Structure 1
């Protein structure tokens, strides 16, 4: 069992205490409405507002609700898929995060409000994410980078896999502590089974809700790591957290892309937990990670490799 008292510094411990006061560790025992209520309240508490110089409007793309963040002279587009286990989250939960990515990169950011479970089971979330991707790519010619955290990282990667033969290819993808359908016997799943912010029990709950039962076997639309072919994927940066059961997904995904001849980079952030994007104003480690994420997005949009 990891010693989180040693792995996490004082800033991260303060962040976790604030999270736990707003979104209790046993939140998955609440009904869905209750989970969304406490999650939305936590996200609102951590919201720091939008930087100056970012124009914001809500406008659907491909029939999917989206929020657009536009700098003065956008040099390309980021399509962002939010986290939340496919059960919670939305345009407001990641509002200041997307606005800051826009300001830091100089890229237009379009946040996609894909449908959530249990009202909408897979593949409705993926199908909506794909429709939005196709529409956004057509609306703004130029560099497109896919990005997402947690469940949103899953969607971004799944779209990249499908795009190889079915649509326009992005310039790259940045996956932030993504869940990619890895094997639950991998090291991080075992070592960090009871990590702060996300446990394997939580993951089991979210999986059951997303699929309404067992997930389909070997379907890269919901589990990119279950694909049989990792060739032809776009340059990829995976940013995981050391204290997160999902960290092995990033490690293995990068390895498989590299083994297939592609460009991929794994950044495992020491002393951070799942969901640390919200910690960027409380933790220097999280702030540094956010800077690397924005740098990777910028680098991919400019066609640089390594991106960071």
Structure 2
């Protein structure tokens, strides 16, 4: 009991420090904490540290990512990510800029690990269910990606739903790609090598942009899709297996579907929001990541299979012990950080091989 009280006080004082302390505990101790908190879900293969985080969150009466109040959910997500922050990964040059796009002035953040060298560029679209998330919530991930993929990263602060229609959001993301291609010389992009990337909703936007731009001069050479949302219409077995007690819940999916698609009267099969139903021919080389304990796992695996069938060069990895959102845990989880570093290095090797 005293241990639980101590953990609670630590969490209240400094969530980041408490979480890092929790991460260092042996697996047996982590599992005992999960049991003491009466975590009601049985996920034996889930990383025991993540299981602790989920159990603590549930005990505090918090579930999922997005609540009924969307503006408040944005504030809370940004606030919670700030609470977890540690010393950011050092990158030689990090600059906040505004992209003068045809669709409007759009904030972005440019990361360059070696400003005097020409390097490829990865355009990154953050996750957050199309409703939440920002340049700041994914800053540390972008730093790790820039460092370990040894590439420039341009993180795009695209407009969010429900205030904006999916077609406008996608257009901004595509315009950022076109702008980068047009400014390849000024940005010092090596051989005009540009990839698109994103996690969750951002992975959706990345592959929608790749589909829409395939025949254009600024088409990306590669795409990095991290547990992407790909299919608003169908519900696969992983949806029912992992819809409760984890980062992304059934309630989250229902809210996102309503605010991103139904409110704007977009058909759930429209490739604008469900790229799994789009034209998959002649897409760029694709590095696709899924997490096993994720409602979106199966649609990612199916998309990987479909891309292979259409002759797309593909690398597919599934992180068995992880859940949705693990790239945002690198500041508190040694395992998540190691995996992000690993996937960043492997993506660059894959891209080099297939460019």
TM-score higher than 0.5 here?
A: yes
8 Å contact kept, 1:23–1:38: no
**Which deviations, in whole Å up to 9, do the C-alpha atoms of 1:99-150 show, x marking residues without a partner?**
1211222211000000011211211111111111110122124211211000
Matched-pair contact (CA < 8 Å) for 1:23–1:42 = no
Q: Deviations over 1:177-196 (max 9, x none)?
A: 11012553322122222250
Counterpart residue number, 1:34: 72
Residues of 1 paired with 2:292 and 2:245: CA distance?
Answer: 10
Gap change, CA 1:23 and 1:272, over 3 Å in 2:
farther
Is 1:177 the counterpart of 2:227? The answer is: yes
| The one of 208, 229, 233 aligned to 1:158 | 208
**Aligned-pair Cα RMSD in Å:** 2.3
Q: Provide the C-alpha distance between the structure 1 equivalents of 2:224 and 2:121, rounded to a whole number of angstroms.
A: 13
- 2:182 maps to 1:131: no
Please say if 1:112 is aligned against 2:156. Answer: yes
Unaligned runs of 5+ in 2: 1-39
C-alpha distance in 1, partners of 2:269/2:45?
Answer: 35
Contact 1:50–1:100 (8 Å) recurs in 2: no
Shift of 1:285: 3.7
Aligned mates of 1:22, 1:240 — CA distance in 2? 28
Cα distance in 2 between the residues matched to 1:104 and 1:3: 35
Paired with 2:175 and 2:58, the residues of 1 have a C-alpha distance of 36
Q: 1:56 to 1:22 in 2, by over 3 A?
A: farther
299 and 108 in structure 1: CA distance in 2 versus 1, 3 angstrom threshold: same
Secondary structure, counterpart of 2:301 in structure 1: helix
**Please, which moves more after superposition, 120-129 or 286-295?**
286-295
Q: Which has the larger radius of gyration?
A: 2
Q: Which of structure 1's runs of 4+ aligned residues deviate more than 3 A?
A: 2-5, 14-23, 26-30, 281-285
Given candidates 320, 323, 328, the residue that maps to 1:278 is: 328
> Matched residues in 1 for 2:174 and 2:257: separation?
20
Task: Quote the offset at 1:292 in angstroms.
Answer: 3.0
Map of 2:48 onto structure 1: 10
Q: Distance in 2 between matches of 1:203 and 1:104?
A: 32
2:106 paired with 1:55: no
Question: Structure 2 vs 1, CA of residues 21 and 47 (structure 1 numbering), >3 Å: closer, same or farther?
Answer: farther
Contact 1:174 1:293 (C-alpha < 8 Å) held by counterparts: no
- Residues 19 and 148 (structure 1), Cα distance of their counterparts in 2 relative to 1, 3 Å cut: farther
Q: Cα distance, 1:48 vs. partner?
A: 3.1
The answer on whether the counterparts of 1:171 and 1:300 sit within 8 Å (CA) in structure 2 is no
TM value normalised by structure 1: 0.90
Q: Gaps (5+ residues) in structure 1?
A: none
Q: Deviations over 1:68-109 (max 9, x none)?
A: 011123421010000001111111111111112112222110
